[in-house]
Amino acid sequence: MNRCNHDSETHHCVHNEHGRLHSKACITLVPIFNHLDDDKLEEIMRAIKTAHFDKGEIIYRAGQQSNSLYIVSKGKIRIYRLSESGKEQLLRILKPGDFTGELALFRQSVHESYAEAMADTDVCMINRDDLQKFLLKYPTIALQVLAEFSNRLDESEKQAARFATERVETRIALYLAECVEDQGGSLSISLPMSRKDMASYLGTTPETISRKLADLEAQGYIRQVSGRKIQIQDLDGLLIL
């Protein structure tokens, strides 16, 4: 399964011509670019390559040189870190339109995290030099990237502050609140990940997730419909735990 040695991902299923088909759909998804006019989009699309990764494949790993920005056009990507002692923490899950690989792109450095395809996924890739060129040529893109980074930094600091100060039950409750979608009147959730990933994301264990969800249900805040389906019974209550 270790077919991904250095650079393997850039050799893997890269289509340039055929990519042109996908890239438009892909790139217009991306907040960073979608303010641009067609000419500029066209220009950027010429620089884009696409690649496919099978479920379970590693797209990049910590320590590897970073060469491009990856934009998800289909599928899902798990971004995670390994801490000093080797334990894994799930940072986020990318959906179509999200991008990754930026961290290492703006410093002369290497990836700090791992990216793994959670399903068969297609990505659009822009290499470092082309991206820098576009950022200098069209500074509004840089402003969009700055805005995106700001959001992500805010997210990350918020998450860190929660780890530092909140109990597990509270972190779970806050996470549930973030997942809420209004389904015809009632507030419901469909969790985007397994208990194991949720535990990794929230800095706990699957067992504790199970127990705390059961507690929240017993206290009447939520109702567990099925494994990943949850109904919120008392959102305000959840938020003041």
Partner DNA sequence: CGAAATCTTGACCGATCTCAACTTACGTGG
Partner DNA sequence: CCACGTAAGTTGAGATCGGTCAAGATTTCG
Binding site for a copy of itself (CB under 8 A): 81-85, 87-89, 91, 102-107, 112-113, 132, 135-136, 139-140, 142-143, 145-147, 149-154, 156-166, 170, 174, 200, 202-203, 239
Tell whether residue 209 is a contact of DNA (CB under 7 A): yes
- The single residue among 54, 156, 194, 225 that binds DNA, judged by CB under 7 A, is 194
Q: Which is nearer to DNA, 185 or 218 (CB)?
A: 218
Determine contact, residues 214/221, Cβ cutoff 8 Å. no
Determine contact, residues 50/140, Cβ cutoff 8 Å. no
Tell whether residue 214 is a contact of DNA (CB under 7 A): yes
In whole angstroms, the minimum distance from the beta carbon of 31 to a copy of itself comes to: 11
Tell whether residue 167 is a contact of DNA (CB under 7 A): yes
In whole angstroms, the minimum distance from the beta carbon of 47 to DNA comes to: 37
- Residue whose entry in the numeric block shows the structure tokens 């060469």: 67
Nearest residue to 119 (alpha-carbon basis) of 75, 60, 166: 75
CA dihedral 131, 98, 117, 205 (to 10 degrees): 130
Sign of the alpha-carbon torsion through 217, 220, 223, 228: negative
- Report the number of secondary-structure helices (H) and strands (E) in the chain: 10, 12
Which of the choices a copy of itself, DNA, none does residue 146 contact, using the CB cut-off of 5 to 8 A by kind?
Answer: a copy of itself
User: Which residues contact DNA (rule: CB under 7 A)?
Assistant: 167-169, 194-196, 203-214, 224, 226-228
